[in-house]
Structure 1
Amino acid sequence: MDWSRLPRRLSVVVLLEAAMVLIAPSAARAQDAWDAIFLAGNKIGHIHTFIEKVSEKGRPLNRVRVDTVLNFRRGDDVVTQKMSYGTIETPDGEVLRLDTRTLTSDNEIRVYGDAIKGQMNLILEGTQQRQEKVIPWGSDVRGPYAAEQSMARKPMTKGESRTLKMYIPDLNRIVDIELKAGETVDTLLGDGAKRPLLKVEQLARLDGKPRSELNAVLWVDASGQVLKQDVDLLGGMTTYRTTEAGAKAAGAPGRAVKYDQIRNTIIKVGRLIPNPYQTRYVKYQLTLKDGDPAEVFPTDARQSIQPAGDGRSATLIVQTVGPTEGTAGAPSVDAEFLRPNGIITSGHDRVKRLAQRAIGNAVDPWDQAVKINHWVFDGMKSNFETTFAPASEVALNLTGDCTEHSVLAAAMSRAVGIPSRVAVGLIYVDNEKFPVKGFGFHMWHEVYVNNRWVALDSSFDQSSVDATHIKLSDSSLEGVSPFESFLPIVRVLGKLTIDPVELR
Structure 2
Amino acid sequence: MRKWLAALSMAFALSPSPALVARAVDAAPATDTTWMTVLLAGRKIGHLRIDRSRDDHAVTTTQDLQIELDRGSGITPMGVLTRSTETLDGQPLGFYARSSLSSSDSIVDGERQADGSYAVTSTVGGLPTRSTLSWPAGALLSDGQRRAMAVATRQTGHYTLDLFDPVTREVASVDLEVLGDESVQLPDGPEWLSHQREVVQTPRGVQRMELWINARGETRKGSLDMLGHELVMLACSQACALAPVQDIDLLRAAMVDSPQPLSAAMRQGFLRYLIHTGDDDTRPVIATDEQRVTPLGHGDWVVEIGDAAAGGQATPTLEDTQANAWLQADAPEVRALAAKAAGGATTAQATMPRLRDFVSRYIDRHDKDGGYASAVEITRTHEGDCKAYAVLLAALARAEGIPARVVTGMVYVDHYAGNARVFVPHAWVQAWVDGRWQSFDAALGRFDSAHIALDSGDGDPWHFANLSNLLGQLRIAEVAPAPGISPAMLRGAAVATRDW
**Would you say same fold, with TM above 0.5?**
yes
- Aligned residue for 2:415, secondary structure, equals coil
Q: Deviations over 1:422-477 (max 9, x none)?
A: 11222223316523642222110111121211110000111xx2112111222134
Change (3 A) 1:401 1:118: same
Change (3 A) 1:186 1:277: farther
1:120 Cα deviation from its structure 2 partner: 3.8
Residue 448 of structure 2 corresponds to residue 466 of structure 1: yes
1:393-404 pair list within 5 angstroms: 393-404=377-388
Query: Which residue is equivalent to 1:65?
Result: 62
How big is the alpha-carbon RMSD for the aligned residues of Structure 1 and Structure 2?
2.9
- AA aligned to 2:463 is S
**Range that drifts further, 453-462 or 412-421:** 412-421
Change (3 A) 1:437 1:188: farther
Equivalenced residue count is 465
In the alignment, structure 2 segments of 5+ residues that lack a partner are: 16-25, 483-500
Contact 2:79/2:100, CA 8 A, preserved across alignment: yes
- AA aligned to 2:389 is H
Query: Which residue is equivalent to 1:262?
Result: 251
1:127-276 pair list within 5 angstroms: 127=125, 128=127, 130-138=129-137, 140-144=138-142, 148-152=146-150, 155-157=153-155, 159-190=156-187, 195-205=191-201, 212-213=206-207, 215-221=208-214, 224-234=217-227, 235-251=229-245, 257-275=246-264
Change (3 A) 1:291 1:327: closer
TM-score normalised by the chain length of structure 1: 0.84
TM-score normalised by the chain length of structure 2: 0.84
CA distance in 2, matches of 1:406, 1:141: 34
In the alignment, structure 1 segments of 5+ residues that lack a partner are: 1-9, 252-256
Contact 2:82/2:167, CA 8 A, preserved across alignment: no
Query: Which residue is equivalent to 1:122?
Result: 120
CA distance in 2, matches of 1:277, 1:170: 42
1:88 equivalent among 78, 85, 88: 85
1:341 Cα deviation from its structure 2 partner: 1.3
Residue 420 of structure 2 corresponds to residue 425 of structure 1: no
Q: Deviations over 1:297-332 (max 9, x none)?
A: 22121111111133x2121111233xxx556999x8
| Runs of 4+ displaced beyond 6 Å | 25-28
Change (3 A) 1:298 1:328: closer
Q: Deviations over 1:39-71 (max 9, x none)?
A: 12221111111122235xxxx111221111111
- Aligned residue for 2:179, secondary structure, equals strand
CA distance in 2, matches of 1:392, 1:218: 40
Query: Which residue is equivalent to 2:418?
Result: 434
Query: Which residue is equivalent to 1:6?
Result: none
CA distance in 1, matches of 2:311, 2:205: 32
1:143 Cα deviation from its structure 2 partner: 2.2
Contact 1:25/1:35, CA 8 A, preserved across alignment: no
1:196 Cα deviation from its structure 2 partner: 4.9
1:123 Cα deviation from its structure 2 partner: 3.0
Change (3 A) 1:502 1:106: same
Contact 1:472/1:488, CA 8 A, preserved across alignment: no
2:98 equivalent among 101, 107, 113: 101
1:284-363 pair list within 5 angstroms: 284-292=273-281, 295-310=283-298, 312-321=299-308, 325-326=309-310, 333-363=316-346
CA distance in 2, matches of 1:19, 1:269: 25
Residue 368 of structure 2 corresponds to residue 384 of structure 1: yes
**Range that drifts further, 368-377 or 107-116:** 107-116
1:269 Cα deviation from its structure 2 partner: 3.6
Residue 7 of structure 2 corresponds to residue 19 of structure 1: yes
Percent of counterpart pairs with the same letter? 21
1:199 Cα deviation from its structure 2 partner: 2.1
Change (3 A) 1:327 1:205: closer
